[in-house]
Structure formats: structure tokens, C-alpha cells
Amino acid sequence: MKSLLSFLVLSLFLLSPLTNAQWVQTSLTNQRVNALVINNNSILAGTNGNGVYVSTNNGLSWSAINTGLTNTFVHALSIKGTNLFAGTYGGGVFRSTNNGANWNTANNGVTNPYILTFAVNDTNLFAGTEPAGGSVVFRSTNNGLSWSPANNGIPSTIVLALAVSGKNIFAGTNGGGIYLSTNNGSNWSAVNNGLTNTYIHAVAANSVNLFAGSEGGHIYFN
């Protein structure tokens, strides 16, 4: 009985920091933050009109890192190996090979510069966009040096979210629900059985379930 009591007390002690945890605002204020990504010891934030900020001290202070970033409306951030990618609204894709110290455009083959989301699957980088240039998903197999359309089966709609689970790639769209590709974006098919709201703004996947956040306050899982 004593050992059981000691175990319970220890468990409560270990769990107490989590159950008592609360959110604390960082010093990056008065910004609309569209994207966050962690790269080693750096936290990067993509903002709506002020580019990218980086913090190396867990958010205590932030610095703008916009050299070469000619469009500062950053809607997506992604990391692939030593490459950092920023997706902008109107300026396409930018790439940095030095953690954001310098940026260069990486739009070869991108016919739609309104980048809303990224996903990485093995050697492939995917970008979801608005349908302004016809294609709504682009794929790069060479770290952004060139892109090609990868949206066969997805209608001309806005791709708001991308997620990867194993060999499966999921795309959340604005009114078309969720699409699945099992061949690295060569073909897509709708997977909407049970969805009552097809305006999907966020998708996330683990090894067991797929989660989808929709317009109107719904979260679905499969």
C-alpha cells in the first residue's frame, strides 16, 4: 500500500506542470502569424505583410529575416533537409539555405504565385495554391529548383492544407472536401465519406488517424 501511495504521489507531482500549464504571449505582437516552423533551435514565424521572424530563445525575442524576400505576405513555411521554404501570397515560393538569413525565389514552373500550404513526402515537396494559374498543387523533386503540376483529379479549387501519412498525401480544399494521393501527387481522388462540411482549412495525420478542421467549427477524424 505504501509503494502504491508513493507511486500516486509521484505521478501527480510529475503531471502537475502539464495540468497547471498556461499560455504566455511572446514579444512578437501586433502581427498576423500565418505559419510557424521549428528548425533545430530556431522558431520561425511567417506573417501577413511583415515577412519572416526568427527566435532563438524560445520566443523571448524575435528578429525579422527578410533579406531577398520581396513578398512579405508569408502564408506557409516548410523545412526540407537544409532548405527552408516560404510560401507567399502573390510572390510564389522563396528558398533559404541558411536558416532565413537570405532568401531567393524558387518559382521555376510555378504558374500560380498564391502559395497557401506545403507538405514534404520523402524527396518530394508539395505546394498548395489558389487556382489562379490553373494548377492547384505543385510538386518539386529537387528542393525547389523546379516545379510541375501535380493535381490530376483535384478540381479547380483552393487547396488550403496538405498533410502526409506514410505514402498517403491528403489535400484539404475550399468546398471540395479532402483528396487523397497514393502516388506522390500523380493522381488524386475524393475521400469525403461522412464529411458534412467540405470547406477544409486544416488537415493533420498520424500513423492511425486523419484529422480535418473545417469552416464552421467542426473537426473530423478518420
Grouped pLDDT means (10 residues each) for the chain, 222 residues: 38 47 87 93 95 95 97 97 96 96 97 95 94 87 96 92 93 95 95 94 90 89 88
pLDDT of residue 9: 38
CB atoms under 10 Å from CB of 68, counted, come to 14
The dihedral sign for the CA sequence 124, 128, 132, 135: positive
- Please give the pLDDT value at position 208: 85
- The SS3 call for residue 18 is helix
33: left (phi > 0), else alpha (psi -120 to 50), else beta?
beta
pLDDT at 17: 52
CB 190 within 8 Å of CB 222: no
Q: Looking at the chain, which runs of residues are DSSP E strands?
A: 33-39, 42-47, 52-55, 63-64, 74-80, 83-88, 92-96, 104-105, 115-121, 124-129, 137-140, 148-149, 159-165, 168-173, 177-181, 189-190, 200-205, 210-214, 219-221
Res 20: pLDDT: 58
What are the counts of helices (DSSP H) followed by strands (DSSP E) for the chain? 1, 19
Which set of grid coordinates corresponds to residue 45?
Answer: 514565424
